[in-house]
Amino acid sequence: MRIATWNVNSITARLPRLLAWLENTGTDVLCIQETKTTAEAFPADELRELGYESAVNATGRWNGVALVSKVGLDDVVKGLPGGPDYDGAEEPRAISATCGPVRVWSVYVPNGREVEHAHYAYKLQWFEALKAAIAKDAAGPRPFAVLGDFNVAPTDDDVWDPALFEGATHVTPAERAALAALRETGLTDVVPRPLKYAHPFTFWDYRELGFPKNKGMRIDLVYGNEPFAKAVTDSYVDREERKGKGASDHAPVVVDLEV
């Protein structure tokens, strides 16, 4: 079974690449972030032609998450139970479902913007709600994973130049502590370092030749419980999909399981 996560940075802009990638990789379940569309405009028909069911939590121009699966989509939950609002609204940042033998979440953790910004406090509150929401499944006997864009680099090795991020979001002790607390529910990072690269980054800014210069960050993660982690046979960051015209600024992260 092949499960992947990919922040596509607009599914409308990325649709031809997405469809080709799914067909070429034989992915069974894809967790998508930053759809930047409404649920009604989500390309479910095009995905259905490739054999994928879709579950979508998206409301418009920003954010949005989805799950697409060839192995079933049962017990779908849209949103983060007990999650905080931002600016008086619940943002579409989480969706979960059972896909065959595995329970998965697709999450797009708030960016945080700046440490003094209200969005940063919201980010930490969101992490607390996520921890509470997944605790039971994380400790359970069924393979379970949370995949997505966590907007946190777990360690200094996960950013291209830690000195340049001093005082900025994505690397603060509080954010990393929130990520560690999530792992304490029974989850582990199932994409080990190093892979084929000394720094398997997953995000490179479009600006200043971020990708050609490998000025990246590892913020797209796959956290699985013990039954999930034991089933992993391979994992990789698909850097090739970050290349070329019309690429997302994130690369897909792929995990193979024997379940």
Q: Looking at residue 176, which CATH number applies to its domain?
A: 3.60.10.10
Q: Using one digit for the tens of pLDDT, what is the confidence trace for 42-83?
A: 999 999 999 999 999 999 888 999 999 999 999 999 999 999
Judge whether 256 is annotated as a binding position.
no
Region 142-167 average pLDDT: 95
Q: Using one digit for the tens of pLDDT, what is the confidence trace for 191-224?
A: 976 555 666 899 999 998 999 999 999 999 999 9
Supply the pLDDT for residue 193: 65
Supply the pLDDT for residue 195: 57
Q: Using one digit for the tens of pLDDT, what is the confidence trace for 13-46?
A: 999 999 999 999 999 999 999 999 999 999 999 9
Supply the pLDDT for residue 18: 98
Q: 40 is in which domain, residue-wise?
A: 2-257
Supply the pLDDT for residue 194: 58
Give the CB-side neighbour count of residue 169, counting CA atoms within 13 A: 19
Supply the pLDDT for residue 198: 60
Burial of 173 (0-12, 13-18, 19+ CB in 10 A): exposed
Domain tally, the chain? 1
Supply the pLDDT for residue 22: 98
Supply the pLDDT for residue 61: 82
Q: For residue 92, which of 148, 46, 19, 14 has the smallest C-alpha distance? A: 148
Judge whether 87 is annotated as a binding position.
no
Region 134-139 average pLDDT: 98
Q: Using one digit for the tens of pLDDT, what is the confidence trace for 78-113?
A: 999 999 999 999 999 999 999 999 999 999 999 999
Give the other-Cβ count within 10 Å of 44's Cβ. Answer: 17
Active-site annotation holder among 149, 158, 220, 223: 149
Judge whether 7 is annotated as a binding position.
yes
Is 117 part of the annotated catalytic residue set? no
Judge whether 137 is annotated as a binding position.
no
Residues facing 148 on adjacent strands: 107, 221
User: What gap in Å lies between CA 21 and CA 33, rounded to an integer?
Assistant: 16
Active-site annotation holder among 28, 52, 108, 158: 108
Supply the pLDDT for residue 62: 87
Q: pTM for this structure? A: 0.97
Residue 118 has pLDDT above 90, yes or no: yes
User: What gap in Å lies between CA 172 and CA 119, rounded to an integer?
Assistant: 14
pLDDT above 70: percentage of residues in the chain: 97
How sure is the predictor about 231, in pLDDT bands with cuts at 50, 70 and 90?
A: very high
Is 149 part of the annotated catalytic residue set? yes
How sure is the predictor about 187, in pLDDT bands with cuts at 50, 70 and 90?
A: very high
